[in-house]
Structure 1
Amino acid sequence: MEFVYPILIFVVMGIVFGVLLVVISKVFAVKTDERAVQITEALPGANCGACGYAGCADYADAIVNKGAPMNACLPGGANAAAAIGAIMGVSVTASERMVPVLHCNGTCEATNRKFTFDGVQSCTAAKRFYGGTGVCAYGCLGLGDCVSVCENDVISIKDGIATFCTEKCVACNKCAKVCPNGLIELRSEKKKVDVRCSSRNMGKVAMQSCQNSCIGCKKCEKVCKFEAIIVENAYPVIDYDKCKSCGLCAKECPRGCIENLRKPKVVAPKPEPVKEKPAAEE
């Protein structure tokens, strides 16, 4: 019997504390808007942060309670925007599809390496070691930090630089965040002109560093009719809100470091009129 009383005491204490926990959880419970839960379920669950929030749940809460834009989920695209609009009872237009661009074209043929890096095969690690292996300190390091964070097999290293399969890209922006030289940018898929250089060097120094480098001549800036391209810190920056993708800057660039991806319109030839055969003489 001497063991029974301690056991009963612990059982009673367990029941009392259990009841107290239930009561406290009910009294101090944080009420969750059911719409936030539904929006979280409608999102892709990538928790990529491309929307500007910590994750999908945080973004859903911001939509319901803080008036966050409902079309900010780039990986979810039009489907997520439509689902969120249905939950919130409003019509939502999907944001433009974004694709990545690398502001560097320093391929193995275009530039050289200062040394062979035998350390950890990471762009960040190589950058800390004498600014990287490349002669151009501003170019792609080519060790694939962007490849390692991409979950959709979008990026590969070809000819020493990162290349993208834009059809697979969900615009999570993780690759841009890990690039130590800040060479990756997301832009609207509708825009077709990109600057493929980020060198701050000018003239002869830039030409010695890379065959595809910008030399800061400002010809692109002068020829642009929309003031969409400005040469800052010796290299051109495109304001995609102003850019009309006319391609004049790419045509004017003497170094070919501005890329025009716009496909020329193919005009079908007009069919020749059918000549009527003269009537046969009787």
Structure 2
Amino acid sequence: MGGTGLVFGSILAVASKRLAVEIDPRVDAVLGVLPGSNCGACGYPGCEGAAEAMASGDGGTGLCVAGGQETANHVAHVLGLDAEAVGVRKVAVLNCNGGCTIAKAQYDYDGVSSCRAAHALHGGPLACERGCIGFGDCVASCPFDAMKMGDDRRPAIDEGKCTGCGVCVTACPHGREGLLSLVEETSPIVVACNSHDAPKMTRAICKSGCIACKACEKVCEHDAIEVRDNLAVVDYEKCTGCGKCVEKCAPKCIVLTSWGEKSVEVERETQPTAVRE
């Protein structure tokens, strides 16, 4: 019996050496400088997969979306490469200024407190079929604790913590339809509405929805906003962040981002006194 065990032990020892897979020590080094959130925004199932790709050269030093430029610099240092420019950081925004506390309900929902569960029942309890259902699936999914549910049952996004990984967009049943989107952090305004309903319908179900009046179009001096399919759309390449469309919007569904608020304040300060008055 002992001899048999010795033989099998020897076989296993030889097999372990011959079948051993060499591990690139740089993988662990790269993994050590990644955020470790396993968000998957890079296209790989987790940080280890991303680290392997970067160490092997299949992925560039800027592969980690969540880590941004700082992480790209660390990865480049570890691998002895030049850091790639990651580009402008992106953050998540909620394109809904109504939600379950403002938009009318089409039925009373008394089920599991999950947006996806509620959405499975006739698209959710809201009369607006593309609005925020308000159970916070996005908040629960955020690997960076960058979202909190507000008193109005809409997610509040901490732009300082948000990495633009996009996990919340995937978690939201309306995310791929535009309810949650990723925009460059320097984007000055956001259209906080996701409905393409006819204006009459929108007025009837949500006082904060876009009514396609085109007042924003008319006031914009840079042709940076236009109404398409009953919803205002911003061309960020042209938008200067003057804030005129925000002031003109009757339902107040065009809102300034924190960056936009700074932009408008700077513009006011640079205007002649007579103009400001």
Which residue number corresponds to residue 275 of structure 1? none
How far apart in 2 are the matches of 1:95 and 1:36? 24
How far apart in 2 are the matches of 1:41 and 1:184? 31
| Aligned partner letter, 2:216 | C
2:16 maps to 1:22: yes
Which residue number corresponds to residue 177 of structure 1? 170
Given candidates 267, 272, 282, the residue that maps to 2:269 is 267
Given candidates 7, 20, 27, the residue that maps to 2:2 is 7
**Could you report, residue by residue, the CA deviation over 1:157-186 in whole angstroms, capped at 9, with x for unpaired residues?**
431322222223233322111111121112
Pairing 1:91-130 to 2, within 5 Å after superposition: 91-107=83-99, 110-130=102-122
How far apart in 2 are the matches of 1:209 and 1:269? 40
Which residue number corresponds to residue 279 of structure 1? none
User: Would you say the 8 A contact 1:229–1:236 is kept in 2?
Assistant: yes
2:56 maps to 1:65: yes
The structural deviation recorded for 1:205 is: 1.0
Which residue number corresponds to residue 148 of structure 2? 155
| Structure 1 range deviating more: 77-86 or 222-231 | 222-231
Given candidates 51, 55, 62, the residue that maps to 2:42 is 51
Which residue number corresponds to residue 3 of structure 1? none
The structural deviation recorded for 1:60 is: 2.3
The structural deviation recorded for 1:252 is: 3.6
Which residue number corresponds to residue 77 of structure 1? 68
Can you give the 5+ residue segments of structure 2 that lack an aligned partner in the other structure?
Answer: 273-277
Secondary structure, in 3 states, of the residue corresponding to 1:42? coil
Given candidates 197, 200, 204, the residue that maps to 1:201 is 197
User: Would you say the 8 A contact 1:142–1:160 is kept in 2?
Assistant: yes
The structural deviation recorded for 1:154 is: 2.2
How far apart in 2 are the matches of 1:73 and 1:83? 11
2:230 maps to 1:238: no
Change (3 A) 1:172 1:122: same
RMSD: 2.7
Secondary structure, in 3 states, of the residue corresponding to 1:100? strand
User: Would you say the 8 A contact 1:215–1:234 is kept in 2?
Assistant: yes
Change (3 A) 1:64 1:224: farther
- Which of structures 1 and 2 has the bigger CA Rg? 1
The structural deviation recorded for 1:240 is: 3.4
The structural deviation recorded for 1:225 is: 5.1
Secondary structure, in 3 states, of the residue corresponding to 1:208? helix
The structural deviation recorded for 1:47 is: 0.8
Change (3 A) 1:221 1:67: farther
Given candidates 205, 212, 215, the residue that maps to 2:211 is 215
Which TM-score applies when normalising by structure 1? Answer: 0.80
The structural deviation recorded for 1:137 is: 1.3
| Aligned partner letter, 1:220 | C
